[in-house]
Structure 1
Amino acid sequence: MTTRAAINILGSTGEVIDITSLGVSNLTTQHPGPGQYLVLGTLGMVPPPLGWGHVVNQLDADCSVSISFNEGVLAVSVARDGEPSDLLHSITLHVAVEELPPMVAPEPDKAELAQRELSSRRSDADHAIAPLQDAVDVDEATESEMATLKAWKKYRLALSRVPDQAGYPLSIEWPVAPA
């Protein structure tokens, strides 16, 4: 069992001190009388007997606490020596539930995967082309560099045509990068 939500309530007024929860942050409380604390808005948290529990401050260790849940209201009753009594300090209400299954991110769709791969390959081509193009631009390219530049540009052009393939994105024939 793992704590999934906790509500700390001040004994003298019934005010919420703080909340740790699975997304519920708009809880309200009422303190209608001695030893009575009502918590509203716990939707989404596990009602008893499946999970609500409590811990009182050690100043209130001699109190008995009962918790019930009815029509959306979590009712906490506190007694000392058999009589309703406000808590001297505070109470922490908590929900203990089985460990949640791990979150599994949905797999990206085929189009998204194809676009990622295409972007990666395009980036590789751009990275290879840039210094070769610089050499050409400043009239310092060798014949070998010019041939390599042409091969990389043909590859990049072939990449730009990948989305036009008949089976894209389910079936892709990737162009082969220059060696």
Structure 2
Amino acid sequence: MNKYKWSAKYNAFFPIEMLHIYQSSWDELSDLIDIDDTVEAEFNGEPPEGKVRGVVDNMPAWVSEPPPTQEELTANAENMKLNLKTKADSEIAWRQDALDAEIATDEETVTLTEWKKYRVLLMRVDPASPVWPALPV
């Protein structure tokens, strides 16, 4: 006996033994159909690379993942900018300490300047259309 029903409207599987709970909580579940347990196991698991569960002909199917929205791209760029700034802050801090303590090597002094320039350029990056500066080497 199958243990689930499928709703194409909600792109969701519902355990039959809990239907009474869902039906009292959800506005409409009139499209529920019986679904084979093997189908539920396939489409309730991990999707293949680049795919998400979608609905094709009212049945579950793996469909191509939609491209990220501009908002998602901007948010990702903001996170990357923050992570890169944290790295730059860390690289600058110890070199600045060495310089302040008058124990910095010539290489540390040059690299400190490079990291400071990098951090300034990084802070000028517009997350909506990022052009990333090269990391100091």
* TM-score of the two chains, using structure 1 as the length reference: 0.44
8 A contact 1:155–1:175 mirrored in 2: yes
| SS in structure 2 at match of 1:102 | strand
* Equivalent position amino acid for 1:160 in 2: M
Q: Does 1:169 align with 2:120?
A: no
8 A contact 1:5–1:45 mirrored in 2: no
From 97, 105, 114, the counterpart of 1:134: 97
CA distance in 2: counterparts of 1:173 and 1:106, whole angstroms: 20
| SS in structure 2 at match of 1:162 | coil
**Which residue of structure 1 aligns with residue 68 of structure 2?**
107
Greater fraction of residues in strand: 1
- Pair 1:126–1:25, CA change in 2 (3 A): farther
| SS in structure 2 at match of 1:139 | coil
Identity of aligned residues (%): 26
Shift of 1:177: 1.4
From 7, 22, 45, the counterpart of 1:24: 22
For each residue in 1:69-90, what CA deviation from the matched residue of structure 2 results, as whole angstroms up to 9, or x when unmatched? xxxxxxxxxxxxxxxxxxxxxx
* Equivalent position amino acid for 1:5 in 2: P
Shift of 1:105: 8.3
- Pair 1:44–1:177, CA change in 2 (3 A): same
From 15, 20, 29, the counterpart of 1:5: 15
Unpaired segments ≥5 residues, structure 2: 5-13, 44-51, 55-64
**Which residue of structure 2 aligns with residue 123 of structure 1?**
86
**Which residue of structure 1 aligns with residue 57 of structure 2?**
none
* TM-score of the two chains, using structure 2 as the length reference: 0.55
Shift of 1:145: 1.0
- Pair 1:24–1:162, CA change in 2 (3 A): same
* Equivalent position amino acid for 1:178 in 2: P
CA distance in 2: counterparts of 1:22 and 1:126, whole angstroms: 55
User: Does 1 or 2 have the higher relative contact order (CA < 8 Å, sep 6+)?
Assistant: 1
CA RMSD of aligned residues (A): 3.6
Unpaired segments ≥5 residues, structure 1: 8-19, 28-40, 52-94
- Pair 1:106–1:148, CA change in 2 (3 A): same
